[in-house]
Amino acid sequence: MNRAVDFVFRGQLDCDSFIGFVRHRAGRLDLDLRIDDCSESAVAVHVAGQEDLVDMFEMACSLGPYDCIVLDVSRAESRLTPVRQD
């Protein structure tokens, strides 16, 4: 079953590092990805794909890259399908 989800990762984040990490994870999991917003305290993304892989994406990104500290993740179901970013 496919699912589209909006995530907001909050914490102490480096935009370039976190976005690179998110893109890499989405690519490995074959998920469609759209970056909605990025700051030092929050990154908003939209992903779509197989339900179990979306869950794996959330778990991987909640751990973040070594130079970012993710303190909180919010998740909302979405009906929108993003344009694939590679």
Distance between CA atoms of residues 26 and 11, nearest Å: 20
Describe the chain by its helix, strand, coil percentages, rounded to 5.
30, 45, 25
85 pLDDT more than 80: no
pLDDT-derived band at 84 (thresholds 50, 70, 90) equals: low
pLDDT-derived band at 1 (thresholds 50, 70, 90) equals: confident
The 10s digit of each residue's pLDDT in 21-75 is 999 999 999 999 999 999 999 999 999 999 999 999 999 999 999 999 999 999 9
Confidence (pTM): 0.88
